[in-house]
Structure 1
Amino acid sequence: MKLTGRDAAGWIAGPRETAAGTLLYGTDAMRVALKRQDLVAALIGPQGDAEMRLTRMPAQSLKDDPAALDDAMRAQGFFPGRRCVLVEDATNAHVPPILAALKGWQPGDAHIVVTAGDLKPASALRKGFEAHPAAAAIGIYADKLDRAGIAAELDRAGLRDPAPDGVAALTQWAARTDPGDFRQMVEKLAIFKLDDPAPLSEADVAACAPVSTVAALDQIVALVADGRTAEIGPVMQRLESQGVAAVALCIALSRHFRMLHALACDPGGPGSGIGRLRPPVFGPRRDALLRQARDWGRIRLERALRELVETDLTLRSSSRAPAMAVMERAMLRLSLMPCPDSRTRDRAG
């Protein structure tokens, strides 16, 4: 069977006893490994003897011993419970022994889990699992976690009934990180919230979020938008030492100022415009966006966007000027725009 979406998630969460095998394939090895981890845990459980009911074998070993998979599938262990045979890094070169074992599977045999890289629809391995009535072929794609995926990760870590601003913060974080990093983040949150009855909040997420390039980008965008000119230099030095490109800074700033411009241009005012943002914004970030949109005003925001477009063109041109110096100069100029003495003139204009 070929499974996608909810059907695939349901199968990975708990394959039925009559399921013979599962093929997990995709271009992103980390995503495939995470799904494989979830599937194996669902098959053999978290008990102390679970590892004794799991047999691992690299697919390459099947070339030397084609019957190894069939033998492992039929072997009877000393520990009661469901068994699993994991075949990793399979390719079309390993199709005959894998499909032969799948064809000979009988109730009571171990569940066969096969992981592979990208497989085309015409792949013999993929077609074999899709055609088998008691097996599943599941493609793992580089999609960002949706709300259902985030809820599943929270439930897995024991973080139930999070606050809306906490969910919103995690949604934003999931949109810009890999599933593996997101899972580690949720596990860190679970430890952080141990014995804390309060719902998971945005402040909790901020306290546990790793200090990364993404966080530093958000920090310098906030410095520029808030007009904190004196603090820009040190953060720029840290970003440059981390290898952040000037173009990436320009893109981050442009995205933020376009958002502020949309809020400032909303017919109902920034308070009305912020309710239209997707995903929704909550907590301190919502307050900061509203304050920045009101402080800058439409005219200065349009001037800032023109400045950023010109900077972006300079960075992408054949100019020999140091890219980070060009970007830092633009940020300093932007940070000086929303000064208190000019706000009255902007609103009047």
Structure 2
Amino acid sequence: MKLSARDLTRLIAKPDPALAGVLIYGQDAMRVSLKRQELVAAIVGPQGESEMRLERLAAGDLRRDAAQVLDAVKAQGFFPGARVLLLEGATDQSTDAIKSALGDWQKGDAQIVATAGALKASSKLRKLFEGATAAGAVAIYDDPPTREEIEADLTRAGLTRIAPEAMRDLTALARVLDPGDFRQTLEKIALYKHGDSAPLSPQEVADLAPASVEAGVDDLLHAVAEGESAQIGPLMVRLHAQGVAAVTLAIMAMRHFRALHAMNCDPGGPSAGIQRMKPPIFGPRRDRLLKQAQGWGLVRLEAALATLTDADLTLRSSSNAPSMAVMERALIRLAMMARR
């Protein structure tokens, strides 16, 4: 049978002992591996004594002895409980060996969990699992995780007390991080919150999320957009000492003010516009950018973009003007516009 990602999530939450096998396949090996780990752990339990009920086979070994799959499925273990035969790197050449095992499978035999890379609709291996009544195949795509998957990850990490705003930020974070990085972030948050009964806050999510390499520049851009002209000089001195070029500042300032402009151009206003931003904006930064967009308005943002375009053209021209001075003057002009 053909399984969806949601079906797999439910199967992980409550394994079906009547299911002979599951094929998990997809282009992203990391995503496939994570789902395989979850399913195996759900059936036999976490690592430890459950390893005694887990048999591993490499698909390449089946070329020499195809009967290994059936033997492993029928083998009787010394430890009670459900057993799993993990078959990694399966290909169409593994189809016959797996077909024989699925055909002879009976309740109480080891359940087959097979993984594979991207498989076409014409794949023999994929057709085998999709056509079986007691087995299933599920494709893992690079789509953002569903709310159900995010909640399962949070439960697994032991995070149950979460403020609604923090949940919104975690959902946005899950959409921009790789699954492995997102889980590591949740583990870090869970370790930080261990013994703390207070709900997880948006500020804690922002503080514990992976740091951005643009954080120093963000400080400068926020100062400009909020009219804090006195902070521009010291921040630019620090960024220049770190090796940040004037052209880089121009590009990032243009990106920042274009984002504010896009928010204001939304028919529903900045509040609706910020929800459409890609990648999503979350945490205190979201509230800060929304306030900036509302404060500037569409007309002044268009003037700000014109000022930045002039500065960028000057930097890229043959002018002998000091590049950092040109950029600093432009940013101070923008800060003065914000205070009007």
TM, length-normalised to structure 1: 0.80
Percent of pairs identical after alignment? 46
Matching residue's letter, 1:343: R
Deviations 1:201-251 (A, max 9, x none): 11221232233xxx123552442242253324655776979xxx969x94x
Identify the residue that residue 231 of structure 1 maps to in structure 2.
Answer: 235
Q: Is the 8 A contact 2:88 2:115 kept in 1?
A: yes
The verdict on how the C-alpha distance between 1:102 and 1:240 changes in structure 2, with shifts beyond 3 A counting, is farther
Structure 1 CA distance for aligned equivalents of residues 69 and 80 of structure 2: 20
Contact 1:26 1:141 in 2 (8 A): yes
Equivalent positions of 1:134-213 (< 5 A) are: 134-211=134-211
Q: Cα–Cα, structure 1 residues 85 and 262, in superposed 2: closer, same or farther, change >3 Å?
A: same
2-structure distance, mates of 1:135, 1:313: 62
Q: Does 1:339 align with 2:335?
A: yes
- The C-alpha deviation readout for 1:20-55, integer Å capped at 9, x for no partner, is 000000000000000001000111013741111011
- Which sits farther off after the overlay, 47-56 or 36-45? 47-56
Match of 1:216 among 204, 213, 223: 213
TM-fit CA distance, 1:183:
0.6
1:81-100 equivalent positions in 2, closer than 5 A: 81-100=81-100
Please, which of 252, 273, 277 is the counterpart of residue 274 of structure 2?
A: 277
SS in 2 for 1:138: strand
Say if 1:151 and 1:118 are closer, same or farther in 2 by CA, change over 3 A.
same
CA-CA distance at 1:75 after TM superposition: 0.7
Amino acid at match of 1:226: A
Residues 122-133 of structure 1 aligned to structure 2 (within 5 Å): 122-133=122-133
Q: Which residue of 2 aligns with 1:105?
A: 105
For the residue of structure 1 that corresponds to 2:137, the secondary structure is strand
Separation of aligned partners in 2, 1:273 and 1:98:
55
Once the two structures are TM-superposed, the CA of residue 153 in structure 1 deviates from its matched residue by 0.9
Read off the aligned partner of 1:137 and give its amino acid letter.
Answer: A
Contact 1:224 1:334 in 2 (8 A): no
DSSP 3-state at the match of 1:72: helix
- Would you say the 8 A contact 1:265–1:298 is kept in 2? yes
Q: Where does residue 298 of structure 1 map in the other structure? A: 298
CA distance in 1, matches of 2:311, 2:171: 31
CA deviation profile, 1:142-177 (whole Å, cap 9, x unmatched) = 011232222111111111131022112212222211
What amino acid does structure 1 have at the position aligned with 2:66?
P
Task: Output one character per residue of 1:161-203: Cα deviation in whole Å (capped at 9) or x when no partner.
Answer: 3102211221222221101100111011111100100111112
Q: 1:49 to 1:261 in 2, by over 3 A?
A: same
**2: CA distance, partners of 1:239 / 1:146:** 40
Q: Which amino acid aligns with 1:336?
A: I
Where does residue 115 of structure 1 map in the other structure? 115
Q: Counterpart in 2 of 1:347?
A: none
> What's the CA shift for 1:337?
3.4
CA distance in 1, matches of 2:293, 2:274: 14
What RMSD, in angstroms, separates the aligned Cα atoms of the two structures?
Answer: 3.5
Number of aligned residue pairs: 326
Residues 97-147 of structure 1 deviation map (CA, whole Å, 9 limit, x = unaligned): 122212211111000000000000110000000000011100000011232
Task: Go from structure 1 to structure 2 and tell me whether the alpha carbon gap of 1:58 and 1:239 turns closer, same or farther (over 3 Å shift).
Answer: farther
Deviation of 1:17 (Å):
0.8
Q: 2:52: which partner in 1?
A: 52
3-state SS of the aligned residue for 2:55? strand
Letter in 2 for 1:338: L
Unaligned segments of structure 1, at least 5 residues: 345-349
Matches of 1:313 and 1:98, distance apart in 2 = 64
Q: CA deviation at 1:334?
A: 5.3
CA distance in 1, matches of 2:113, 2:241: 48
Partner of 1:29: 29
Q: Alignment partner of 2:160: what SS?
A: coil
**Equivalent pair of 2:4/2:138 in contact (CA under 8 Å):** yes
Say if 1:312 and 1:339 are closer, same or farther in 2 by CA, change over 3 A: closer
